[in-house]
């Protein structure tokens, strides 16, 4: 009985991640860089969780899919109010760009909102994590460690067995 419940939970979790990815693909397919307007982006994706303004007048909107999903999107809207690009930022290339000394804002602008933020008082550090993969009953995470000054002290990865 327990084994079948665990197996059902793993299958359901995989289906949920697949459904989220499928929904995103359908929604993102409605948007066209170079022609979709900022209003159209909001109509399709909703309100962004955060907005950054760039020196050239463009805006970067954050659309996280964590903690359930394994992607985060940053959407660039030009000063002309037209969609420039959609970036899925949870990539190995971006994880490799995280370096000691970066600020929390720099990491957030690179990877988007983390899935979790945990403070460890004995170590006096905060860890942000992003789910990167769900495979064979495991959830894999990329972690960024911050010191008390809010600067990156290192990175790590871990996995959590599900079930």
Please state whether the predicted TM-score (pTM) of the whole model is above 0.85. no
Segment 66-83, tens digit of pLDDT? 888 999 999 999 999 999
Sketch the domain layout of the chain as residue ranges: 2-161
Residue 64 zone, left/alpha/beta (φ > 0; ψ -120 to 50; rest): beta
Please give the structure tokens belonging to residue 46. 């909703």
What is the mean pLDDT of the segment spanning 140-151? 98
Question: What does the buried/exposed string (b/e) look like for 116-142 if buried means 16 or more CB atoms within 10 Å of the residue's CB?
Answer: eeeeeeeeeebbbbbbbebeebebebb
Query: In this predicted structure, what is the pLDDT of residue 28?
Result: 85
Residue 119 zone, left/alpha/beta (φ > 0; ψ -120 to 50; rest): beta
What is the mean pLDDT of the segment spanning 139-150? 97
Q: Indicate the CATH number for domain 2-161.
A: 3.30.1450.10
């Amino acid at each position: 009985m327990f084994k079948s419940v665990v197996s059902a939970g793993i299958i359901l979790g995989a289906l949920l991640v697949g459904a989220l990815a499928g929904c995103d693909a359908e929604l993102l397919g409605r948007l066209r860089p170079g022609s979709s307007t900022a209003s159209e982006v909001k109509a399709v994706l909703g309100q962004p969780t955060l907005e950054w303004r760039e020196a050239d007048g463009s805006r970067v909107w954050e659309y996280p899919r964590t903690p359930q999903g394994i992607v985060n999107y940053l959407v660039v809207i030009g000063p002309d109010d037209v969609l420039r690009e959609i970036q899925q930022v949870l990539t190995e290339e971006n994880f490799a760009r995280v370096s000691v000394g970066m600020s929390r804002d720099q990491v957030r602008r690179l990877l988007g909102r983390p899935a979790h933020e945990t403070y460890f008082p004995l170590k006096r550090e905060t860890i942000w994590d992003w789910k990167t993969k769900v495979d064979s009953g495991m959830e894999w995470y990329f972690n960024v460690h911050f010191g008390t000054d809010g600067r990156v002290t290192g990175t790590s990865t871990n996995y959590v067995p599900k079930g």
